Amino acid sequence: RVDLTSMASPTDLRGARIVDDASASSESPLRDDTAEFIRELRARAEDGGSDEISKTTASAFDFALPVTVTRAPGRLDFMGGIADYSGSLVLQMPIAEACHVAAQTRAAPRGRATLTVVSPIPGSRDANDRAETFTCAMDDLLSLTYDAAREWFARDQKTRWAAYVAGTALVLAKEKGARFQGRSVAMFLRSSVPEGKGVSSSAAVEVASMRALAVLANVTFDGVEGGAELAELCQLCENAVAGAPCGVMDQMTASLGRESRLLALLCSNNTVLGHVRMPRGCKLWGIDSGVRHSNDGESDYGRVRCAAFMFREHLKRTWPEKGIAHLAELDPRWLEVMLVNGALPRRLSGENFLVMYPEGHGDDVTSIDRRVTYDVATCGSHPVMEHRRVALIRDWLAEVADDEAISELVMTQVGNYMYRSHESYGACGLGSDATDKLVRLCEKRGRDGGVFGAKITGGGSGGVACVLTADTDDAERAVGEVCEEYGGKPAVFVGSSPGAVAFGHLSVVIDPSD
């Protein structure tokens, strides 16, 4: 339990009061962003309905009763990226930005339970982008199949975002038997994780939402501290309800990440191999290219993923004795020999592949387009080489003793592999002019400027570039110069925060009676 005396005072929370907490840390004070979230709820309660958001919030919640508060961060993809769906080892850093969710159940008026979700649009966003509220009947939602839910949420672009929130309730009901005792559910979301930047805004929303709903429904999760199953069910929500073909590393980081440590996740079996400390003397940055990326099934990401699974299926059928379950398991040297000798196809059309293998490519979340010719060798080789790069980097970082600073040699080795990963993304067709420019500007500063490596991240095709620097004033100035020369005042991500499991949950009375 957190020592509540170490937390923000009632004055800091505008009069709201924490009545119970289930934080995994016994000594951590209340985070500044969490205190700010609680203050916003308190302001909504005091306002009582001067605008539609406050009016909907006030009618959906009873702020005199406890509200469950959860938090899940976004993530910076240090290494691994798109190789996650091929079973690679990945290294992910939870970032400081996060999604907060407040949730509460109430007696259903007239016996008809509803789900109400309030998610205010940030001030810098166009209010026409999406609706700020979503309401549905709980019975209607929980009776849907995953396919029907995906179609239902896709009908209206303005409320499509609700698939990532309400979809977690559907998954909990189907996979864990959650029923919410026939009560209405209210949820209020506020996320500082920007959308479309490749820092897993959707995973942060899903994990924070599902964890809050699980508390309300008294659902517990299996796996490492319950976080592994939580992450897998959130991935199911994104795949089956939202219709985005993501791997599981984003949700695992949002769930099981630890502040200032890299989550080492083996994606072939979703096993957490540890939390790797970033050695003293180095620092990670995320620089936003300003180019929005998408992971939906029709995007370049979907095409590259589809090609990788086609390549795996061809290998499985051609060499069944190798028992290939994931591309990351392959020996890079063997694969290189097979490609050089012409024993493997470089490209395959969807039509020809389905003639050879009418059962398909073994991936439930992408579909083969018969009209498209896929670069199967490049897209299939990427995760094989990426897995090797990530494993070596993890070993190099782990070998640095706790009381030692990282050497320039190790930073150079790590940085070189970051540049190779970036080049491989581009070869797959997941690069972008914007992120290429950022990486070139980082290379231009080089070791003399304290900049050792840079790469595109996540699903590619824009988003954020991850940069490795020395932890020095010169390196910080170099990052500033990169941003200035790039133009447009790009957002910079620096710092870290705990995952949802480490944060736990709070029970807060927003409007306590005197």
Higher-pLDDT residue of 349 and 4 is 349
426-442 burial, b at 16+ Cβ within 10 Å, e below that, comes to: eebbbbbebbbbbbebb
pLDDT at position 5 is 35
pLDDT at position 122 is 75
Q: How far apart are CA 91 and CA 117, in angstroms?
A: 33
pLDDT at position 1 is 29
Amino acid letter, 53: I
Q: What is the mean pLDDT of residues 398-414?
A: 95
Q: Quick one: three-class SS letters along 221-248?
A: CCCHHHHHHHHHHHHHHHHHHCCCCCCC
Q: What is the mean pLDDT of residues 97-125?
A: 87
Residue 409 resides in a domain: no
Higher-pLDDT residue of 473 and 403 is 473
DSSP state of 342: T
CA-wise closest residue to 456 among 274, 301, 272, 265: 301
Q: What share of the chain is helix, strand, coil (3-state, %, to 5)?
A: 45, 20, 35
Burial of 288 (0-12, 13-18, 19+ CB in 10 A): buried
pLDDT at position 250 is 94
Select, from the ranges 11-15, 182-186, 292-296, 348-352, the one with the highest average predicted confidence (pLDDT).
Answer: 348-352
pLDDT at position 20 is 63
Q: 115 near 184, Cβ under 8 Å?
A: yes
pLDDT at position 293 is 62
Q: 71 near 46, Cβ under 8 Å?
A: no
Residue 319 resides in a domain: no
Worst-scoring range by mean pLDDT, 45-59, 73-87, 103-117?
A: 45-59
pLDDT at position 52 is 84
pLDDT at position 119 is 93
pLDDT at position 124 is 46
Residue 71 resides in a domain: yes
pLDDT at position 26 is 42
Q: What is the mean pLDDT of residues 123-132?
A: 66
- pLDDT, tens digit, for every residue of 249-291? 999 999 999 999 999 999 999 899 999 999 999 999 999 999 8
Residue 326 resides in a domain: no
Q: 230 near 243, Cβ under 8 Å?
A: no
Give the chain's mean pLDDT: 90
Q: What is the mean pLDDT of residues 33-60?
A: 86
Longest dimension (CA), the chain: 80
Residue 179 resides in a domain: yes
pLDDT at position 11 is 42
Residue 473 resides in a domain: no
Which CATH number characterizes residue 126's domain?
A: 3.30.230.10
Q: What positions carry a catalytic annotation? A: 250
Q: What is the mean pLDDT of residues 133-156?
A: 95
pLDDT at 389 > cutoff 60:
yes
Alpha helices by DSSP H, 328-458: 332-340, 350-356, 376-398, 408-428, 433-445
Residue 392 resides in a domain: no
Domain count, the chain: 1
pLDDT at 128 > cutoff 80:
no
- pLDDT, tens digit, for every residue of 220-239? 998 767 899 999 999 999 99
The percentage of the chain sitting over the pLDDT mark of 90, rounded to a whole number, equals 77
Q: How confident is the model at residue 413 (pLDDT cuts 50, 70, 90)?
A: very high
pLDDT at position 2 is 33
Q: How confident is the model at residue 30 (pLDDT cuts 50, 70, 90)?
A: confident
Please give the residue range of the domain that contains residue 73: 4-276+498-509
Worst-scoring range by mean pLDDT, 54-58, 147-151, 421-425?
A: 54-58
Q: What is the mean pLDDT of residues 352-370?
A: 95
Residue 114 resides in a domain: yes
Q: 363 near 306, Cβ under 8 Å?
A: yes
